[in-house]
Structure 1
Amino acid sequence: MTSRTEAAAGTDRSVRPPLLRELLLVAGLFLVYKAGRQLAAHHTGEAFRNAHRVWDLERAAHLPGEGAVQSPLLHHDLLAHTADAYYATVHFPATVGLLVWLYLRRPAHYVWTRRVLAALTAAALLLHLVFPLAPPRMLGEAHLIDTGRVFGPSVYGPPRTDHLSNQFAAMPSLHFGWALMAAVALIAATRSRLRWLWLLHPLLTLTVIIGTANHYWLDAAAATALLGLALAVTPRPHRPAAVAAVRPRETPRPAERPALAHVSAAGAGR
């Protein structure tokens, strides 16, 4: 048993990439994420036209109004403030924490997760460029409240003066896409019976992004579809423990061989 554990640990160490290179790659991923969102930041007219299209499509599909999720938040200031704080503070730290844990404990799954996140982010940035979209909090037809501005904290300033973020990059929602990938990665990398509870993270994230009027339902659907494509084209890692657990073919013990020879000789004498 000990030898199998040591073999698995040795295999894990062999697939763990150099730390400095990974720090640069992950930092580059986050920088590209922040910088790439600026590419479509000034397509205001197109962003609002697309917002009307998305809103009408959701109503045609009989999806529940985003207001049904926001309404309970508006009745409790603390709940609204908590949702805004979750939106503002959990997204990046949760993703970084996931990558750090995987790097230290599940290196093969870390490489897989980093590749999937990079593919998802690249596809999302391309969609942000070709389909700029104003969030529902900006769409008068939606009759929703910008909870970040009313209750705080908010990660966005006035659209005309906010040069640090692209507020017209609503579709897909990388808040939801990254949260869903975090749950997928942890479920794949662990064996606890309770690991499926990690799905509560994307579920809570979905509730927050809709309730704070930062995203439409279809933003989360688009993120899910892109994540599915990224997972489909990225090879899954092999679990070292599974390989180490394969039992070698059993051979007769030395003490048993004379007895077997004796039986064979007796049979031949008959």
Structure 2
Amino acid sequence: MDATRTAPARLAAWQRAARELALVAVLFLAYKAGRQVVAGHADLALANGEWVWRLERLLRLPDETLVQGPLLSHELLVRLANSYYAYVHFPATVLCLVWLWLRRPAHYVRLRRALAALTAVALVLHVCVPLAPPRLTALTGMVDTGTRFGPSVYGPPDTDQLSNQYAAMPSLHVGWALAIALALMAVTAGRLRWLWLLHPLVTALVVVVTGNHYWLDGVVAVALLVAILAVLPRPAPDLPVPVSPAGPVRPHVVPAPRRAGHRRNPKVPAAADVRLRPPGRG
């Protein structure tokens, strides 16, 4: 293929990629800036944390301390959980988006819209309902495993200028993990595609074990994502290109039979039936 023809196509592809990266960066910066709006509501966030803890007990949800407690005596497992929380969430999402953008653009657009909508709704909830995580709520009795064992992505809540730690509801770790798992399941064939669900399941366990989220944080994130996906249009299915043993199928024009006694004007083309035949045949 002529290099002069491929150059504009490559330039257009790089321009689309730059626009997508810029869009993701703007959404992320807007989310980080919005979280800082509620950074000074520690007292309200702690009170809401105690309320969520009591509500979970009324709903008979499993006690988060019963999940965290047995792991505290296994430092390696706790460190692995902290590392999964710190280093898997965002890189896994970016890798999934990049792969879908390159291979399945329609599914990429749907996932990007779902993540943007979920993040926007989460930001509204963070502003309206600031919530302290279990590790910062004394009533729970849970341990901040990041601070005790490491690695930790957070500093002291009063001096942390990079993130608002009083924004636990909903859990975007769980919501994003489920979103990318569902997207990958949609483009994967076979029974093994169900293994993608291990990512959100492990994430839900990790965010509780590390004391960063309540069970209800994950439940609300899943409910919001399901509602968002229900209203988003489904991507168009990929249409396979028909191929015959002799090569790709291309249109083959077969003239229509002439009626008896009918003289055709040579200047007017006859009606033709368009049939699909392999090249070199018929």
Q: Return the TM-score normalized by structure 2.
A: 0.79
Match of 1:100 among 86, 94, 98: 98
Q: CA RMSD in A?
A: 1.9
CA displacement, residues 108-141 of structure 1 (integer Å, 9 cap, x when unaligned): 1001100110000000000000000000001111
Tell which structure's C-alpha radius of gyration is larger: 2
Letter in 1 for 2:61: L
CA displacement, residues 190-225 of structure 1 (integer Å, 9 cap, x when unaligned): 223211100000000011000000000000011011
Match of 1:217 among 215, 218, 228: 215
- SS state at 1:18 partner: helix
Match of 2:180 among 173, 179, 182: 182
Aligned to 1:64: 62
Letter in 2 for 1:142: T
Note if contact 1:144-1:213 (Cα within 8 Å) is conserved in structure 2.
Answer: yes
Letter in 2 for 1:164: L
Q: Aligned partners of 1:17, 1:108: CA distance in 2, in Å?
A: 18
Equivalent positions of 1:24-63 (< 5 A) are 24-63=22-61
Note if contact 1:37-1:125 (Cα within 8 Å) is conserved in structure 2.
Answer: yes
More strand by share: 2
Equivalent positions of 1:185-264 (< 5 A) are 185-241=183-239
Aligned to 1:144: 142
Aligned to 2:271: none
Q: Aligned partners of 2:213, 2:65: CA distance in 1, in Å?
A: 11
Give the drift of 1:32.
2.1
CA displacement, residues 33-55 of structure 1 (integer Å, 9 cap, x when unaligned): 32222121111111011111100
Q: Aligned partners of 1:241, 1:124: CA distance in 2, in Å?
A: 36
Give the drift of 1:19.
1.4
Q: Return the TM-score normalized by structure 1.
A: 0.82
Give the drift of 1:17.
8.8
Change (3 A) 1:241 1:190: farther
Stretches of 4+ aligned residues off by more than 6 angstroms: none
Note if contact 1:134-1:168 (Cα within 8 Å) is conserved in structure 2.
Answer: yes
Give the drift of 1:28.
1.5
- SS state at 2:239 partner: helix
Residues paired across the two proteins, number: 233
Letter in 1 for 2:17: L
Q: Aligned partners of 1:34, 1:128: CA distance in 2, in Å?
A: 11
- Bigger relative contact order, structure 1 or 2 (CA pairs below 8 A, ≥6 apart): 1
Aligned to 1:131: 129
What are structure 1's unaligned runs of at least 5 residues?
Answer: 1-14, 246-253, 258-270
Equivalent positions of 1:108-119 (< 5 A) are 108-119=106-117
Q: Aligned partners of 1:109, 1:152: CA distance in 2, in Å?
A: 36
Identity between Structure 1 and Structure 2 (%) = 60
- SS state at 2:168 partner: coil
Match of 2:76 among 63, 75, 78: 78
More helix by share: 1
Aligned to 1:5: none
Q: Aligned partners of 2:213, 2:106: CA distance in 1, in Å?
A: 33
Give the drift of 1:163.
1.1
Give the drift of 1:168.
0.3
What are structure 2's unaligned runs of at least 5 residues?
Answer: 1-12, 243-253, 258-282
Equivalent positions of 1:1-40 (< 5 A) are 18-40=16-38
